[in-house]
Structure 1
Amino acid sequence: MRNLKRLIFFVIVLLIVGATVIFTLENKQSVTLVFFGWSAPELSLAVPVILALLVGMLIGPVLASIARLRRKPKASRLA
């Protein structure tokens, strides 16, 4: 059972890495991001998209944890 879980985990990671590589290779167009007058150097389109995905994956759990911590004291007052 333990080996099956490892195999499933390995297959999922391999699929994610493969999809990321394919996405990167398919989106080689150069783009320049401009934000409030600041312009980033030209990058492959895949770079800002993957960075946005990673930032979202980091910020989402942090915000969920903060929301959970704020709700917990209210529940203890009701008991």
Structure 2
Amino acid sequence: MSEAKIRVRDFVSDPVTPKEIIGRFWDKVYYMIDIDEIVYDLISDYDIAMDEQKIEGWYMEEDTDEKDSLRDQVLTQMGCEFH
């Protein structure tokens, strides 16, 4: 497993921050699993319902669609904006 390098610095004047730990957390998680694929699979569970209700724009093969937009929103809210 790839370990992120911890930069050398004066930890008294430049302490470790929650943002730094969260970033390292997501680096490690993203290395271990495909978060984007899991989120997209969860969203795809709604495909049948969207088809039944004839929701326009839910899925378009060649274009950005509602599923893609929802995936981006979910990943952003999860703090996983680097997909």
Q: Same fold (TM over 0.5)?
A: no
Instruction: State which structure, 1 or 2, has the greater radius of gyration over its C-alpha atoms.
Output: 1
Of Structure 1 and Structure 2, the greater strand share is in 1
Question: TM-score, normalised on structure 2?
Answer: 0.32
Structure scoring higher RCO (CA < 8 A, sep ≥ 6) equals 2
Of Structure 1 and Structure 2, the greater helix share is in 1
